[in-house]
Amino acid sequence: MKKDFISIADKTPQETLSLLGLAARLKRDLYAKQSRNLLFGKTLAMVFQKPSLRTRVSFEMAMKQEGGDALYIAPDEIKLGQRESVPDVARVLARYVDGIMARVFSHRDILGLAEWASVPVVNGLSDFDHPCQGMADLLTIQEKLGGLKGVKLAYVGDGNNVLHSLLMGGANTGMRIWAATPTGYGPLSEVVEWARLRAAETGAEIHLVVDPYEAATDADIIYTDTWTSMGQETEAAIRRQVFPPYQVNAALVSIAKKQVGVMHCLPAHRGEEITDEVADGAHSWIFDQAENRLHAQKAVLVDLLGV
């Protein structure tokens, strides 16, 4: 049966931890210059509706470092779902490549690609979920703190796709997730419901609050993301009025644990959701987190396509 990587919610707790273990091993191999060419002869099509620095470079290098190849398909080349239907694109690409990664606006397009493609499909980002980022985040936390179970992560800001992945990943690994979002900007109720059901199995905790200081108190990690995601540009002016109390700054960091790590999936709008002082300061894990996109995604690709 064909395997895809659409959401962390599709993985069991053990499968999530196994992927993280594989990512850690592949990272050690890379630093030891011991590539095993686990993707030799494999080709990944990378379909983009949205531009990206990290997604494109990290997926392309993941394939190349393990002996495979990657083909970048720019937004205007296909116009997925416009010039050519999602089912047709999926069936055509599957005749040429061994896997498809897509970075899209609508989650429906990811689901459509997975339904119609006969090769594995990876969700590189959708409006619902950002599972590759979530895996990179879990890998970073595991490296920094030595484990995941019982770790308190305070997410501060918009209840978006990144928060959805953190809720799913945290629930699968026994973390304590505190999400502080403005009223009306919280995560989707179905994601919260899923996370709480899984948390009952793993010992995780899921807390939704409005006050960012309540969430950040004694936190091991403070995490934030842009206030306005791609596709929400018409809301930017309103959001800039709503979200300033949710800025990650020195005052917020000061109420967390002394060695708190600060995370941001990037790109950052400095001076809005995070200050320069924090992003570039001693607590920042932001660029370790960005690097770990490479290693986490390499693990996903090896799991799906590996020889």
Catalytic status, residue 265:
yes
- For residue 226, how many C-alpha atoms fall within 13 Å in the half-sphere facing its CB? 14
Q: Under a CB-based contact definition with an 8 Å cutoff, are residues 18 and 142 in contact?
A: no
Q: Under a CB-based contact definition with an 8 Å cutoff, are residues 66 and 302 in contact?
A: yes
Please tell me the distance from the alpha carbon of residue 45 to that of residue 94, in angstroms, as a whole number: 9
Residue 12, classified by CB atoms within 10 Å of its CB into exposed (0-12), middle (13-18) or buried (19+), is: exposed
Dihedral over alpha carbons 3, 5, 143, 228 (to 10 degrees): 180
Q: Which of these is catalytic: 158, 198, 265, 297?
A: 265
Read off the DSSP letter of residue 176. Answer: E
Catalytic status, residue 103:
yes
Catalytic status, residue 293:
yes
Residue 71, classified by CB atoms within 10 Å of its CB into exposed (0-12), middle (13-18) or buried (19+), is: middle
Q: Which of these is catalytic: 49, 109, 129, 130?
A: 130
- Cα distances (angstroms) measured from residue 9 to each of 16, 168, 169, 184: 9, 6, 8, 24
Q: Which of these is catalytic: 49, 65, 133, 289?
A: 133
Alpha helices in the chain (DSSP H): 13-31, 54-65, 75-78, 86-93, 107-116, 131-145, 161-173, 189-202, 212-216, 236-242, 250-253, 276-279, 286-305
Please tell me the distance from the alpha carbon of residue 76 to that of residue 125, in angstroms, as a whole number: 18
Q: Which of these is catalytic: 158, 225, 264, 289?
A: 225
Q: Which of these is catalytic: 220, 293, 295, 297?
A: 293
Q: Which of these is catalytic: 56, 103, 176, 198?
A: 103
Please tell me the distance from the alpha carbon of residue 304 to that of residue 253, in angstroms, as a whole number: 39
- Cα distances (angstroms) measured from residue 46 to each of 55, 235, 303: 9, 29, 17
Q: Under a CB-based contact definition with an 8 Å cutoff, are residues 133 and 265 in contact?
A: yes
Q: Which residues are catalytic?
A: 103, 130, 133, 225, 265, 293
